[in-house]
Amino acid sequence: MNKNVALIGVSGYAGTILYQLLKNHPKVGTITLYGHRDVGKHLSEIQPDLVQYGQVDPVINQFDPQKIMKEADAAFFASSAGVTNQIAGTLIEADFPVIDLSGDYRLSDPKSYEKWYKKPAAKADDLKKATYGLCEFHPKLSRYVANPGCYATATLLGLAPVVLNNLIDLDSIIVDAKSGVSGAGKKLAPGSAFMTVNENLTVYKANRHQHIPEIVQELKNWNPQLRSIQFTTTLLPITRGIMATIYAHVAKGIQDPEKIISQAFIDTYEDKPFIKLHGSNLPSIKDAAYSNLDAIGWQYNPVTGVILIVSVIDNLLKGAAGQAVQNFNMMFGFNERIGLPIVPIMI
Catalytic residues: 150
275 class by beta-carbon count within 10 Å (0-12 exposed, 13-18 middle, 19+ buried): buried
Interhelix angle 13-23/322-331, nearest 10 degrees = 50
Angle of CA points 199, 204, 206, to nearest 5°: 140
β-pairing verdict for 174-179 and 230-235? parallel
Q: Which helix (H) or strand (E) holds 5?
A: strand 3-8
Q: Which helix (H) or strand (E) holds 130?
A: strand 130-132
Angle of CA points 276, 322, 274, to nearest 5°: 20
DSSP state of 293: -
Helices (H) and strands (E) counted in the chain, each on its own, are 12, 14
The residue type found at 34 is Y
Q: Is the dihedral of CA 8, 9, 14, 20 positive or negative?
A: positive
Cα–Cα distance list, 308 to 261, 282, 302 (Å): 11, 10, 11
Q: What is d(CA 33, CA 42) in angstroms, rounded to the nearest whole number?
A: 10
- Nearest CA-CA partner of 104 in 95, 327, 90, 89: 89
Q: What is the DSSP string of 140-207?
A: S--SEEEPPPHHHHHHHHHHHHHHHTT-B-GGG-EEEEEE-GGGG-SS--GGGSHHHHTT--EEESTT
Q: What is the DSSP string of 213-279?
A: HHHHHHHHHH-TT----EEEEEE-SSSS-EEEEEEEEBPTT-SSHHHHHHHHHHHHHTT-TTEEEEE
